Amino acid sequence: MTTSFQDETLSPILRSFEHVLSQLSTASSAGKATYQGRMLDTIKRLLKHPEGIAALEPRVEELEQAGIFAGTDWATPSSLIPGMVGNTLKMAEPRTVALECVSLLRFLSAARDEKARPSLPSEHARHFLAQVLALNLDRILGAHHEADRVKARELDGAVDALLKHILASIGTEGILGQLVDEVWRILRQRPIQVDHVKSMILQIALAMNEEGQSFSTSDTRLGAGRLISALFGPTELCREDPGLEVYRDRLAASDTGTLQAEASGMARAMHDTGLVSDYHAVFLRFVLESGHGYLVSDALGLSNTGLDSFRCYQALVQQLIEVAVHPGTAQAALGIALILERGILYSPPIAPSLWRLLGSKLTPACEASLTSAFGVGATPHQRLVAGVMLLLGQPLGIGQGNNPTCQSARALSMWALNDPDYLLWQLAQATSNDRVIMYFEGKPLDSALLPAGLALHTPLDADPVSIVLVPHLDRIYAEMGRLVAGRAEDPHRWINPELHGWWVGREFHIAVDIATGKLSEYDKFIRDFHTAYHPLHNGNEPVIHPQPAGIAVTDSQGAFVGWHAISIIRVALDQSGVMRVYFFNPNNDSGQDWGDGIVVSTQGNGEHLGEASLPFSQFTSRLYIFHDDGLKTVSESPVDEDEIGIIRDLALQSWARNRH
């Protein structure tokens, strides 16, 4: 009998389990750590048993109370990140894998029962699990990569079983829907780097193939279909993803009308999603090579503005496409289209700067960095030109990657938005001399001679321009910090204008006292921000240049996480009449929950692509540094004291809790 056999093998494991659990649960806080390892070992044995998950599930709460998570990152479930679960589950250390499994079971129990955990609402738990499942669909579908199979790990089978169990418990439907929504949410921020988005879309495509029957809600299906087709079959001639060669043959055999339809189909998919299919690159190269160059503007989906720009600079644009747009770097087509729409080519130095870029020869060091980040598919020069197209086209799409370099990413975004000529000059310095020279209060700082800054290595998970420039900027930023270290105030007072540009306001406002870290004249700080930026209090003056600002970032519980650099782009009324601050966050995903109901919006509240926004008061409650141009004198309409009180309370409830 199978059952009795399994009982027979399960009961000794459970006996050890109960013994170790009682040791762990009675241990004092000092002793917990010595029992966690053996607890995880018995959990591991249980997980490997066919009946193990069922036996473990009812014991999860007891495990949690016994302190299995005590002293680890898993102790506060609300701050766990679904994106990291997949990697943890693939780690070699079985104890860590076992701990992650228990954590997932804890989320599952919270998802099922609203009252189970006050700190973990079931809605949040469901959302978390849905994202974990969405990001690990390959394991659920059994579509392991060959590389995974080769280095199979001890708990792989158990983890797959656990994920399937979770999936069975909370349902497929939500997962794919959630994943599709997630992809759309990210794409609406128009990130420059879309590789992870592409891999999620691939997961969706695989899942729809496998689970075709159960995946039925038409809305989700439609949203998913648009994503998949934008990548793998945006137009009639490549609908079934026939391969680039076949597509090119088909183009060669098509008449003008068909090519015209292809061009507008490509443009539609590109602007709809922000994703560019490799077929699109093939199409653009084909029309340029075969004398159908007149179709380029249609294939880029240009408006009148863009079209005019294109006609004025046709030779340049064609050369940019020739160098930058290949299968593998197809996204550059979107960058080119958006550059044309921005009209920045009309600024006298831009076109010559771009010609300089096209003719530049990279130093071996630049080539090596680009190759190590992107591999050998396209040449480093092609990568870099493509990267410049993307950054100039989508200045707010840049992200810092997993690097502590928000200052540098913000600077690149500001220059791309505000001073592209300067950006191209910096880039030329770096690519021809492996150095960037900037001046701090008249003193030249040469990045080639400076020690490393915040990032110890060249970032590999960033866009091409960042790969080349960030190491230099980061060093200069750090050096500026060293130069002002002795001054008794926040270094950004001097660094921000010197690093970013003359347009950064020289009047500096900070909410905390540097020496004590306590709030200082906070009400005045709030009032000053209104008179500097709020159109109803500053004489209706718009934000003229993007302005650097400092944010006290808080987590979804409102607890202080750290200081972060952003830039204020504009302040305006949204469609429902709420005054909002629209800003750029160099963090890779701006849609963050900062607690107390302050959820940063990235779409639907009047944001331009790439902008994040918050109502003015909510934004102010997380602000701690801003610059002002110093032109305003007396405010004609004073700020309501109640309004200041509301903002002060929001701050005091969260990051400023221990600072007053």
CB of 54 closer than 8 Å to CB of 3:
no
Residue 77 beta carbon to other proteins: minimum distance, rounded to whole angstroms: 23
Tokens of 88: 């943890």
Residue among 93 and 649 whose Cβ is closer to other proteins: 93
What is the spatial distance between Cα 345 and Cα 352, in angstroms, rounded to a whole number?
Answer: 9
Residue 75 beta carbon to other proteins: minimum distance, rounded to whole angstroms: 15
> Of the ranges 9-17, 144-152, 171-179, 444-452, which one interacts with other proteins (CB under 8 A)?
9-17
Q: Which of 3, 4, 29, 218 binds other proteins (CB under 8 A)?
A: 29
**608 contributes a contact to other proteins by CB under 8 A:** no
Q: What angle do CA 217, 220, 226 make, to 5 degrees?
A: 135
Q: What angle do CA 553, 480, 567 make, to 5 degrees?
A: 35
Tokens of 574: 């949204």
**6 contributes a contact to other proteins by CB under 8 A:** no
Q: Which of 6, 25, 38, 57 binds other proteins (CB under 8 A)?
A: 38
> Of the ranges 10-18, 178-186, 392-400, 425-433, which one interacts with other proteins (CB under 8 A)?
10-18
Q: Is the dihedral of CA 146, 148, 153, 159 positive or negative?
A: negative
**156 contributes a contact to other proteins by CB under 8 A:** no
Residue 36 beta carbon to other proteins: minimum distance, rounded to whole angstroms: 11
**65 contributes a contact to other proteins by CB under 8 A:** no
**Hey, is 23 helix, strand or coil?**
helix
CB of 619 closer than 8 Å to CB of 625:
no
Q: Write each residue from 340 to 379 as x if it is in contact with other proteins (CB under 8 A), else as -, in one continuous string.
A: ----------------------------------------
> Of the ranges 18-26, 116-124, 178-186, 299-307, which one interacts with other proteins (CB under 8 A)?
18-26
Q: Collect all residues with Cβ–Cβ distance below 8 Å to 379 and sequence separation of at least 6.
A: none
Q: Which of 7, 18, 31, 608 binds other proteins (CB under 8 A)?
A: 31
**47 contributes a contact to other proteins by CB under 8 A:** no
Residue among 30 and 485 whose Cβ is closer to other proteins: 30
**4 contributes a contact to other proteins by CB under 8 A:** no
Residue among 71 and 604 whose Cβ is closer to other proteins: 71
Q: How many other C-beta atoms can be found within 10 angstroms of the C-beta atom of residue 374? A: 22
Q: Which of 16, 319, 429, 520 binds other proteins (CB under 8 A)?
A: 16
Q: Which of 27, 237, 275, 339 binds other proteins (CB under 8 A)?
A: 27
Using alpha carbons, list the distances in angstroms from residue 231 to 181, 205, 277, 297, 542: 16, 10, 5, 20, 39
Residue among 157 and 638 whose Cβ is closer to other proteins: 157
Closest among 37, 160, 16 to 95, alpha carbons compared: 37
Tokens of 5: 């056999």
What is the spatial distance between Cα 573 and Cα 542, in angstroms, rounded to a whole number?
Answer: 11
Strand partners, 625: 510, 550
> Of the ranges 19-27, 310-318, 330-338, 400-408, which one interacts with other proteins (CB under 8 A)?
19-27
Q: Which of 7, 18, 19, 123 binds other proteins (CB under 8 A)?
A: 19
Residue among 14 and 287 whose Cβ is closer to other proteins: 14
Q: Which of 45, 190, 292, 545 binds other proteins (CB under 8 A)?
A: 45
What count of Cα atoms within 13 Å lies in the side-chain half-sphere of residue 72? 18
What count of Cα atoms within 13 Å lies in the side-chain half-sphere of residue 205? 16
What is the spatial distance between Cα 410 and Cα 413, in angstroms, rounded to a whole number?
Answer: 5
Residue 622 beta carbon to other proteins: minimum distance, rounded to whole angstroms: 31
Closest among 330, 472, 461, 302 to 390, alpha carbons compared: 330
Q: In what order do the strands lie in the sheet with 579-584?
A: 507-510, 623-628, 547-554, 560-573, 579-584, 612-615
Q: Which of 1, 30, 376, 634 binds other proteins (CB under 8 A)?
A: 30
Tokens of 467: 């790969």
Residue 61 beta carbon to other proteins: minimum distance, rounded to whole angstroms: 22
Q: Collect all residues with Cβ–Cβ distance below 8 Å to 515 and sequence separation of at least 6.
A: 488
**25 contributes a contact to other proteins by CB under 8 A:** no
Total residues in contact with other proteins, by rule CB under 8 A = 20
Residue 34 beta carbon to other proteins: minimum distance, rounded to whole angstroms: 5
Contacts of other proteins in 76-135 (CB under 8 A)? 93
Residue among 1 and 92 whose Cβ is closer to other proteins: 92
What is the DSSP track for 7-21? Answer: HHHHHHHHHHHHHHH
**50 contributes a contact to other proteins by CB under 8 A:** no
Question: Which residue ranges make up the site for other proteins (CB under 8 A)?
Answer: 9, 12, 15-16, 19-20, 26-31, 33-34, 37-38, 41-42, 45, 93
